[in-house]
Structure formats: structure tokens, C-alpha cells
Chain A
Amino acid sequence: MVRQRTPTQEERYLTAFESFASNGWISDPSWLKDLRTSAIERFRELGFPTARRGNEEWKYTDIAPIARTQLEVEVGDESKIGVASIEKFLVGDDNWGRLVFIDGAYSRELSRTPPLSRGVSVTSLAEASATMPDVLEKHLSRYARYDEAAFTALNTAFIEDGALVQVPDGAVLEQPLQLLFVSTTPEAMSAPRTLVIVGRDSKVTIVETYVGLTGGRYFANVVSEIAIGVGAVVNHYRVQQHSKEAFHVGTTQILQDRDSTFNSVVMDAGGALVRNNLNVDLAGENASCTLDGLYMVNGTQHVDNQVMIDHQQPYTTSRQNYKGILDGKSQAVFHGSITVREGARKADARQNDKNLLLSNECEADTKPALWIYCDDVKCGHGAASGQIDERALFYLQSRGVDQEAARRLLVRAFASEIIDSVKQEAVRAHMETIFDEHAQEYRLT
């Protein structure tokens, strides 16, 4: 079904894989080698997805620019970046833990490990493969399915470094943890990987930030896997601030056990072509998730958010609230899918997507889907699309607020539903700053 357009576009990565295999693998355990090999094999079979008719998953997003660009698979050189250049992307205070990755490679110098309680591991994948190989073997690539997704397969084939967070049963990570992924090399692909394993009744807050320090086209192909144990709570934030020409394809795979909670807020402000897959498997009774998102696109940006929630067990709850602000000739895509499996009684799902269109040349495509195989459920979705409410504008103007300020206020109000839902203060402040920066560019007169 999903076949490649020309063989050469995939071949570059196949060749890069061969040289990767012959250079950097010697000390790696055999299971990791096998994993990479079968992943690249799968990538070769799948090829890059095409937006061709009938390919529902990629209906509105053509990744040809990524496939066409001559990208090198880059292994980062962390030494060239000083802390000053990443300062503005840092979230939180000195108590926060922080892992920094430059083009996918861990930078010990820029990172800071917080004082950790017993059994908690916060480290890079490369280090973990030496110190705790059994954990990696048990969990790595067990959640994110690369057999159906070409980009996940590509990331898996080039797994080398990334973040590992392991929280044992009953442990609480008091301070949030920031994972900062910095792209610095144009015409390069980085493939960082994040693995988070949260034990029974544990709690952790993680902020993933994706940023670019270079102009030009580069490609961040990232995969995060988060396994949440019984009764555990994970607060997850993802902020994407790539440069305006960058490509970003991110997959976040969540597996939730019984009584667990996953709260996520994502924000997309950068990138030329961005695709986010957020897959949540509610695999235990009474698991619940709240997924909020704000995407802001301008110029010719294209951002595609795919949120797949799978209610596999009874009494599971999901809440989704995504909002988009579109300006210029941009395009935003939202595809939210809720599946309630047979037997998943009392599933409760709600999904919302709202788009605010500021220019007359942008395009918003929304596809909220419900797949319900069980009768005892409460599921709903809503979608709306429109421009700034004329009556609200009139109200503000009649109160003496000039038109541009009034419009700015209303756009901010639209975004605040998402930004204000962020409970973590530092993250909220960070998102507000990004929003303000981005909002400067809106043509609101």
C-alpha cells in the first residue's frame, strides 16, 4: 500500500546505515544490533509515506520535502555549543534536572543531574547501554511500533543516544526534568530517542523541548516511549521551537497501566514541516489521560498533529483539547482518533479541536474520528473553525481598546485555554514567552 516514490530517497539512509553499522557498533550488544537491523529492513519495505489518495494517515501532509532533501545522518558534536546559546530554551530553575542533546548526542557538560532518590535513573541512552543494559533490552522499542511507521523505523535503525528516565515503584521525582534536544547542523538528520519508565505509584514531570540553533533545513526525527505503571502520574510537556525551515517528525508512544494518569500539553511554534504522532494506549482499568495542544503556524508552515487514543480497558477516560492559530499561507492538520475496544465498558472520551484563522490564505484540516466497539460508553467530539468573533471585537472597541490591541487580546484569550491549563508555572511562563514572540508576527490590523 504505502510504497516509496523512488528508491533513491530511501537509499541514502540505507547507505548511511551501512556505514553506521561498520563504524559505531562494535561494543553494542547483539539485541540492539538486531533491533536496528530489523528496523532498517522495515524502513526499506515501508519507504517514505506518500500523501497519495487512500493513505488516510498522510492525507493532508506531504513529506516529499523531507524525502527529497539531501540529509546526512549526523552524530552530534556537543563540544561546539556553549551554555549561553541554549540559555533562552532552558525551563525552570537550578533545582531542575536537565539533559541536553546536541544533534542527538548527549552533552554531559550542558546537562545537570539533580540529586536523585534511590533507584531513580536519569541518564543518556549511550551511558545506560553500558551501565544498565538489561533495562534497555527489556524496554527499548517495546512500546513504539516501528513495523507500521516508516519514521519510527528510521529512528529505531539509528538509535544511538537519547534520554533514559527510570523511576522505581513509589518514587517521586520532586523536581521536573527538562530534556532539551538541540539541532545545530543544517542538512542533517538527528534521531534522538527517549525512554521513560515509571513504576507503580510514582510521579514524574518531564519537559521535552525541541529547538534549533541553525537556520537552513535540518530534520529531527524523534521517538519517545513512556511506560506508566499502576497508579503512577506523569506530567508531560513538549515544546517545539525549531527554526522556520526545519523538519520535525515526532512520535510519542504512551502505555498506561491501571489507575495511571498521563497529562500532556504540547506546543508547536516552529518548523517548516512538522508532524507529531501522540499515541496513548489506555491498557489498564481506570487509566486516564488529558491531552492539550496549541499549534501556531504562520508563513508557509505546516503542522500536523495526530492523536490516537486506544481505550482498551473498562473505566478509562480521555480528554483532548487542541487549538490552532493560523496565519499567512500556513496549513494546520489535526487528526484525533478515539478507539473504544470491545469490552471497554464505561469508557469516557471527549475530544475538541478549534482553529482560529487569521488570514484568508491559510488552511485548516480537521479529522476527529470515533471508533466505538462497545455500547456502554460516553464519547463525543467537537470541532470548530472560524475567525475572530466580530461581536467580541466590537465589544472591546466600544470600551476604547483599539482594533489591533483588541484582536491581539482575543487571540491571546483563544490561546489561554491551553496555556493557562499548564499547572507547572515555569513551563507556563515559557509557553507564554513563546506565544508572545510568535504573536508579534500576526497581521492583526
Chain B
Amino acid sequence: MTSPRTISKETGIDDTGYKYGFVTDIETESAPPGLSEDIVRFISAKKNEPEWMLEWRLKAYRHFISLLDNEQLPKWAHIHHAPIDFQQIIYYSAPKPKKKLESLDELDPEILKTYEKLGIPLEEQKLLAGVAVDAVFDSVSVITTFKEELAKHGIIFCSMSEAVQNHPDLVQKYLGSVVPYTDNFYAALNSAVFSDGSFCYVPKGVRCPFELTTYFRINTAQSGQFERTLIVADEGSYVSYLEGCSAPMRDENQLHAAVVELVTLDNAEIKYSTIQNWYPGDENGKGGIFNFVTKRGKCQGVNSKISWTQVETGSAITWKYPSVILQGDNSIGEFYSVALTKGYQQADTGTKMTHLGKNTRSRIVSKGISAGHGSNTYRGLVKVMPKADNARNFTQCDSLLVGDKCGAHTTPYVEVQNNTAHLEHEAFTGRVSEEQLFYCRQRGLSSEEATALIINGFCKEVFKNLPFEFAVEATRLLEANLEGSVG
């Protein structure tokens, strides 16, 4: 369990600098640790799932076991960790249900407090911010606000469990259509044991009136969080979705293997933003989240657009490649990323843009910052298939090194099978320039302030793609994370 730490009253930041490292004391209902067919059946039964859902899980489970038995774990990423014992993980953990909740007031006050500490006051947001929150506490969606407001527009925004019950046709049609369970090792695991997640469907021609938000949080010790998110934007619709993540501090590593699938039909657009601040482990690299996530969007329809923006500051290890399959003609894929590694954090992250349709365009802007003993790798693939006439890609991936013990790596892959494609790739690696620092110091900034300012400028191109409130939050998060690493 957690070791005692001093937590500063004013800031909530403890002596390791991780602000969100408290454990909420509520009763949870957990499955015993370990993975078996019975556990998959148990999860499915707990959620009262229809037969087809169970079948799908079992197929995924069998595929996962065959991969595990043949030792086909992904080994290509530039990360190092002790082998994961998949039999030590608790695959299902939910707050003990008391009764069905009618309003926020009935929510366990402990849970509400947790969210307050995290800085997402549900009530406030409900009234003021115009943000609908689907908060995921460990694995079960606790409460969904704004549902009615969304329902007026015909938008479905609910937990995955509810969607399986209430919208089985949509779930059946799209679940696994972008990330099949055979996609990769962790996607197979997720498909077998996913406990909950968010589901969103925006009907034809509807522009979602506010940002949709989910807050994931891992609470139970030894538990893995395997949520599954599916967003479908029907013809001509638009939705902006933001997820934030944090987890309490524990000495052991916790596994987070989520799958996110996005589908846009003709003329639709999805904007997906992530602020990831899972517990990164202590200053010696002990503990922390293994964030092994598969995120992929499919621009299925013509003129559709999917845009990923991510700010990755947490997790002991991040392994994540939000990708876009540009299938519809004239579709657009974007990827904006800031990844910060400090302490002993490792990140191997990037994107895949697969150009299938004609006149498809993609844009990749990746900013990596390494400090302390951090290791930061950009890994990206831009692939132009033979029929993707006039495909266009621009890639810019820059890395900044802060300190001489860290590493910054860039490994892009460019595969072109169509000569009308036009691709450009630029990358730069270096440190904060002495000239810029000198200029700021001369204007009266301390060296720490100056560095923070320059790093913020370095990330600006990405931050400006975040929804406004979150851009502010991201800037602060970055500053808090860099504290003590620079200067």
C-alpha cells in the first residue's frame, strides 16, 4: 500500500511532487486477482451483458492467451520494465453499489471529495462550465451528468456498460471495427476484460454543444484499468472529447491498457484531447502506472476529420500511438502531442497515419521534453497506400533535453507507395538555447521561470489545439511537473 508522505496543505503536492497521490477510502467490490475464462465470464455476468458481448470477450481472451503463451508480447518499443505478471492483476473492481443514484447528492461523499481534489467539481461543472462529465471511478461509470441536455440533441453519451444494454446495435456495429481484438497484445487483453468506459454517438448533422469529458482514475491497489471508449460521429456531426487521467501513488506498478476507437462518417469531425497525469512513480522510479494504450480513429466517410491532441506528463511508462486511418476521400488526420518524461519515466509515443483515400491530409506535431533520467521516444508511421492519390503529410517532431542524464529519441517511418503523394518530415533535437535563456534572464526572470517560459513556448503549437480551459490546465501541469527539474 502507500507509504506515508508529507503532503503540503496549500498545494496538495506531496514531497515527490505528485499532486494526485491520495487513496480514496471507499469499499470496492473486486474480483480475485488473475485472468481466466471464469474471470471474463464473471465480468460479463456482473455487467449483465448479452451473449454476443460475452462471446466477443471470450474470443479476445483466447487470442490473448495464445499470444501470451507464444510470448508474443510487443518488444519493439524503446522501454524497459520487469515482466508483467498478468495473473497478479485484479481485472474487476467497482465501488460497492448501494442503490441507483438519482442525483449527485447521493454519490459517496468520499468519491466526490476525490474529484474535488482532482480539481473537477462535478456540481460546479454541471452548472458553470458547460462540460458534461462521465466520471469513471476505477472501472464503473459512477455518474453521468448532462445526459438529459445531450439527449435533447439526440446525442448518446453514457458508460460503455449502459451502451451495451441500451444501444446494442450501435455497439455491435462499431465495437472492434477500428481496433479489432487481434490488433495487438494489449488490445486483446482489453477486449477480453474491459470493465467500462465511455460511449458516445452523435447523430447526423448535430454539433455537440459542449465539450464532453471523462475523468479516469485508478484507485484499488493492484488493479488494472481496462476501459474501452467508442465515439461515433455520424454524417455531418461534430464532437470534442476530453479525457483526463490520474491515479494514487502505490509502490507497485499498475497496468492501464485502454482502447479508444473513433469513427467519423461523411463530413463528420471528432476532436479528442487527452491530459494524462497518471502516477509516474517515485523519484527512484519505483511504482507508477504502465500506460499501454491503443487509440485509433477511422475517417470512414468523405471529408471527415479526426484530431488527436495529447499532453502526456504522467505514467511510469507510456506506450501509446493515437492513429488515424484516412479511408474517406479528402479526410484529414491530425496529431498534436506534448510528452514530458522526468525522474525515471519512459515514453514511447507517436502516431500512425494511414492514407487510403484520395486527397487525404495528415499533420503531425510532436514535442518531447526529457528531464532527469527520463526517456522519451517519438515513434511514428506515415503510410501512403497505392490508391491514395495526392496524399499530403507534414510532420514536425522536436525534442528538448533538460539535463544530461535523459534521452530523446525520434524514429519516424515513412512508407510511400504512390508517387503523387507529397510528404515532409522535420525533426530537431537539442536543449533550451543559451541565447533565449540569456534574453529572459536579462529581462529579470529567474532561470527557472525563463526555462519554464521557453518550454511553454516550445509546446504552444500543441496547447493551442486544446479546449481553452484545458490549455490553461496543461500549461500549469507542465510547470508543476518541471519544477525542480530545471534551472
Contact = CB atoms under 8 A, between A and B. Distances in A.
Given A365-B413, A365-B415, A360 B423 contact: no
Interface string B399-420: 1011111111111111111111
Nearest to A376: B431
B407 A372 contact: yes
Contacts of B419: 326, 357-360, 362, 386-387
A364 interface: yes
A172 B405 CA distance: 42
A269 to B, nearest CB: 20
B424 A380 contact: no
A136 interface: no
Nearest to A349: B429
A87 interface: no
Contacts of A51: none
A367 B412 contact: yes
Nearest to A383: B425
Contacts of B407: 371-373
A357 B420 CA distance: 8
Nearest to A375: B401
A385 interface: yes
Nearest to A358: B419
B192 interface: no
Nearest to B375: A373
By DSSP majority rule, is chain A's interface helix, strand, loop, or mixed? strand
A379 B75 contact: no
A377 interface: yes
B439 interface: no
B428 A379 contact: yes
B334 to A, nearest CB: 19
Contact of B416 (A363, A369, A373): A363
A378 interface: yes
Contacts of A54: 75-76
A379 B426 CA distance: 11
B409 A383 contact: no
A386 B421 contact: yes
B386 A372 contact: no
B97 to A, nearest CB: 44
Given A54-B75, A380-B426, A385-B421, A372 B414 contact: no
A19 to B, nearest CB: 39
By DSSP majority rule, is chain B's interface helix, strand, loop, or mixed? strand
A216 B412 CA distance: 37
Contact of A378 (B414, B415, B430): B430
Interface in B424-446: 424-431
A114 B403 CA distance: 53
B485 to A, nearest CB: 12
Chain B, interface size category, equals: 35 or more
B427 A367 contact: no
Given A342-B404, A368-B425, A385-B423, A56 B76 contact: yes
B126 interface: no
B460 interface: no
A90 interface: no
Contacts of A342: 404-405
A364 B419 CA distance: 9
B409 A355 contact: no
A370 interface: yes
Contacts of B410: 368-370, 381
A382 interface: yes
B153 interface: no
A366 B414 contact: yes
Contacts of A355: 416
A410 interface: no
Contacts of B424: 382-384
Nearest to A351: B427
Contacts of A380: 426-429
B422 interface: yes
A371 B376 CA distance: 10
Nearest to A331: B417
Nearest to A363: B417
A367 B402 contact: no
A385 B414 contact: yes
Contact of B431 (A364, A369, A375): A375
A374 interface: yes
22 contacts: A56-B76, A357-B418, A360-B386, A362-B417, A363-B416, A366-B413, A366-B415, A367-B411, A367-B414, A368-B410, A370-B399, A372-B399, A372-B407, A372-B409, A372-B429, A373-B407, A375-B403, A376-B431, A381-B410, A383-B424, A384-B424, A387-B420
Given A54-B76, A383-B425, 18 more contacts: A342-B405, A358-B419, A366-B413, A369-B410, A369-B412, A371-B407, A372-B409, A372-B429, A373-B407, A375-B431, A377-B429, A380-B426, A382-B425, A382-B426, A384-B425, A386-B419, A386-B423, A387-B420
